[in-house]
Amino acid sequence: VRTIGILGGGQLGRMLSVAASRLGLRCHIYEPGANPPAAEVAHACTTASYEDEAALRAFARSVDVITYEFENIPTSALDLLEDLRPIRPGREALRVSQDRLTEKSFLRDLGLATAPFADVTDAASMTVALDGIGTPAILKTRRLGYDGKGQARLSTPADAEAARAAMNGAPAILEGFVDFSREISVIAARNADGDVACFDPGENLHDNGILRRTTVPAGIPGPMRMDAVLIASKILNALDYVGVLGVELFVTPGGLVVNEIAPRVHNSGHWTQNGCVVDQFEQHIRAVAGWPLGDGARHADVVMENLIGEDMERVPELARRPDTALHLYGKAETRAGRKMGHANIVTAKSS
Ligand code: ATP
Ligand code: MG
Ligand code: MG
């Protein structure tokens, strides 16, 4: 493999391209939007829609393997690309994770704990779902949600109509509210030989549904760290997965509950850039390119802080800190709620 095609040109595509370039590989980005952050560091960039069959074909023919930095790629584009080049991670991982109902069912069928959930398509199924699950609960669109968008919380059954209205008619899933003490995530990788390497679980702090901070080590006992890694490995193997996967989990008194999976490098794995010899981006490129995996061992404690919107004002101060590595995405326009970069604050390994 010499050239890797990446669907999506955001910051994840940018950091994948940097990692590939360090390994002497080239990346070709495919992105419908203008000025993708990945374009300026990649070898090539195609700006075209996912409906443009000629552009998709030319893109596929120019690369050896195709991967992606976001999971909501239209099925028609995937069908076309798959006939021309291998897509890694494969279609099954995308099929499962593009729809929250399919995803939760897959996790439950693997024997993993999830929030109680039910399909909601109309007023009648909402009533049935609420009878079974009760409140508090969260209604989420089945597809296309991220950063807590497309979600409505229900404190009492009286909130049902307002929550349904917030879905704008889209199919949804009702989830029972998990009373968690912490949120953690595992970033895990599997290569074509079936080797698995997991990074240490990170502890995640969200604000308004958007990730603010990831801390490693997570404040959980050793056996629970092991449980988290075993859950991630089980998911990788079940999907015959090739690449990096993010698994978000809730810590509860009864053990770990899986929230969701992301078939790609993950924001909560950005700490690996300064806490590990091989970070999640290089690990993904290695897996996709058919290389051996790097070691996931952690050599430092790290706090990863997302720089969102006006947080960019902190950059001059952060740039003066000797313990802090800055990763900025080169986005021209700062907007409220937009992820502009992150800072990894690195200290000696404690445990
Ligand atoms: P991401 O940007 O991580 O893809 P998302 O939009 O897919 O986010 P979720 O991860 O499902 O959304 O939810 C966002 C946050 O909302 C979670 O990290 C958690 O804090 C809270 N949350 C989601 N589902 C539940 C639940 N069933 N019980 C309790 N809290 C929840
Ligand atoms: Mg999500
Ligand atoms: Mg999430």
User: At which of 176, 207, 225 does a domain end?
Assistant: 176
Separation of CA 210 and ligand 3 centre (Å) = 8
Residue 6: predicted pLDDT = 98
CATH code assigned at 245 = 3.30.470.20
Residue 172 is assigned to a structural domain of this protein: yes
Q: Assess contact for 190 and 196: CB atoms under 8 A.
A: yes
ipTM above 0.85, yes or no: yes
Per residue in 287-321, pLDDT (tens digit) is 999 999 999 899 999 999 999 999 999 999 999 99
Same domain (yes/no): 249, 133: no
Give the chain's length: 351
List all residues 6 or more positions away from 315 whose beta carbon is below 8 Å from its beta carbon. Answer: 307, 326, 328, 341
CA–CA gap between residue 176 and residue 75 (Å, rounded): 30
Same domain (yes/no): 122, 238: no
Same domain (yes/no): 243, 268: yes
Half-sphere exposure of 202 (CA within 13 A, CB side): 37
CATH code assigned at 123 = 3.30.1490.20
HEC readout, 211-237: EEEEEECCCCCHHHHHHHHHHHHHHHH
CA–CA gap between residue 62 and residue 73 (Å, rounded): 19
> For the chain, which ranges sit under pLDDT 50?
none
User: At which of 176, 206, 222 does a domain end?
Assistant: 176
Domain that holds residue 152: 116-176
Pocket-testing residue among 183, 184, 259, 339, ligand 1, by greatest number of atoms within 8 A of Cβ: 259
Per residue in 155-214, pLDDT (tens digit) is 999 999 999 999 999 999 999 999 999 999 999 999 999 999 999 999 999 998 899 999
Sign of the four-CA dihedral 24, 29, 34, 38: negative
Q: From the annotation, which residues make up the binding site for ATP?
A: 100, 140, 145-151, 175-178, 183, 206, 259-260
**Residue 61 to residues 7, 58, 64, Cα–Cα distance (Å):** 14, 5, 8
CA–CA gap between residue 289 and residue 66 (Å, rounded): 10
Separation of CA 301 and ligand 2 centre (Å) = 26
Same domain (yes/no): 147, 203: no
Residue 351: predicted pLDDT = 87
Q: Identify the residues whose C-beta falls under 6 Å from ligand 1.
A: 115, 138, 145-149, 175, 177-178, 183, 206, 209, 248, 259-260
How many H helices and E strands in the chain? Answer: 11, 17
> How many distinct structural domains can be found in the chain?
3
User: At which of 176, 205, 223 does a domain end?
Assistant: 176
Residue 273 is assigned to a structural domain of this protein: yes
Residue recorded with tokens 């969701």: 260
Residue 297 is assigned to a structural domain of this protein: yes
CA–CA gap between residue 256 and residue 324 (Å, rounded): 31
Q: Assess contact for 8 and 71: CB atoms under 8 A.
A: no
CA–CA gap between residue 1 and residue 291 (Å, rounded): 9
Q: Assess contact for 123 and 157: CB atoms under 8 A.
A: no
Same domain (yes/no): 217, 292: yes
Residue 213 is assigned to a structural domain of this protein: yes
Separation of CA 246 and ligand 2 centre (Å) = 10
Residue 205: predicted pLDDT = 98
pTM (global) more than 0.90: yes
Same domain (yes/no): 260, 204: yes
Q: Which amino acid would we find at residue 123?
A: A
Q: Assess contact for 16 and 329: CB atoms under 8 A.
A: no
